[in-house]
Amino acid sequence: MGLEIRDLSVRFGSVPAVSGVNLSVAAGEVVALLGPSGCGKSTMLRAVAGLEPPTAGGVLWNGADLGGVAVHRRGFGMVFQDGQLFPHRDVAGNVAFGPRMRGASKARRRERVGEVLELVGLAGYERRRTTELSGGEAQRVALARALAADPRVLLLDEPLAALDRALREQLAVVLAELLGGAAATALVVTHDHDEAFTLADRVAVMSRGRILQVDAPSRLWKHPADEEVAAFLGCSTVLSARIGDGLARCALGEVAVPSEAAGAGLLGLRATGLRAVRFGGVEEEPEVVGVVRERVHRHDHVRVAVTVPQAPELGRVEATARVDDAPEYEEKVRLWLNPDGVAVIG
Ligand SMILES: Nc1ncnc2c1ncn2[C@@H]1O[C@H](COP(=O)(O)OP(=O)(O)OP(=O)(O)O)[C@@H](O)[C@H]1O
Question: Is any atom of ligand 1 closer than 6 Å to the C-beta of 30?
Answer: no
**For the domain that residue 242 is a member of, what is the CATH number?**
2.40.50.140
Ranges of the chain whose pLDDT falls below 70: 259, 281-283
Question: Is any atom of ligand 1 closer than 6 Å to the C-beta of 86?
Answer: no
Same domain membership, residue 188 and residue 334: no
User: Of all protein residues, whose CA lies closest to atom 7 belonging to ligand 1?
Assistant: 12
Same domain membership, residue 248 and residue 110: no
What pLDDT score does 281 carry? 61
Please, is 154 exposed, middle or buried when counting C-beta atoms within 10 Å of its C-beta (0-12, 13-18, 19+)?
buried
What pLDDT score does 135 carry? 87
Domain-terminating residue out of 158, 190, 222: 222
Torsion of CA 208, 267, 233, 261, to 10 degrees: 80
Question: Is any atom of ligand 1 closer than 6 Å to the C-beta of 130?
Answer: no
For ligand 1, mutation pick of 18, 42, 192 (most atoms within 8 Å of CB): 42
**For the domain that residue 62 is a member of, what is the CATH number?**
3.40.50.300
- The helices-and-strands tally (H runs, E runs) of the chain is 9, 20
Q: How far is the CA of 192 from the centre of ligand 1 (A)?
A: 17
**Share of the chain residues as helix, strand and coil, in percent rounded to the nearest 5:** 30, 35, 35
Same domain membership, residue 148 and residue 171: yes
Same domain membership, residue 137 and residue 213: yes
User: By residue range, what is the domain housing residue 247?
Assistant: 223-346
ipTM for the whole complex: 0.92
Q: How far is the CA of 280 from the centre of ligand 1 (A)?
A: 52
Round the average pLDDT of the chain to a whole number and report it: 92
For ligand 1, mutation pick of 12, 52, 191 (most atoms within 8 Å of CB): 12
Same domain membership, residue 196 and residue 63: yes
Q: How far is the CA of 42 from the centre of ligand 1 (A)?
A: 7
Report the 10 Å Cβ neighbour count for 245.
Answer: 8
Question: Is any atom of ligand 1 closer than 6 Å to the C-beta of 209?
Answer: no
Same domain membership, residue 173 and residue 117: yes
User: Of all protein residues, whose CA lies closest to atom 18 belonging to ligand 1?
Assistant: 40
What pLDDT score does 284 carry? 74
Specify the number of domains making up the chain: 2
Same domain membership, residue 8 and residue 134: yes
pTM (predicted TM-score): 0.90
What pLDDT score does 259 carry? 65
Same domain membership, residue 266 and residue 194: no
Question: Is any atom of ligand 1 closer than 6 Å to the C-beta of 40?
Answer: yes
What pLDDT score does 83 carry? 72
Three-class SS state of 266: strand
The pLDDT > 70 percentage for the chain reads 99
Of 74, 75, 77, 93, the residue nearest 85 (C-alpha)? 93
Same domain membership, residue 228 and residue 176: no
pLDDT digits (tens, 9 = 90+) for 58-109: 999 999 999 989 998 899 999 988 878 999 999 999 999 989 988 899 999 9
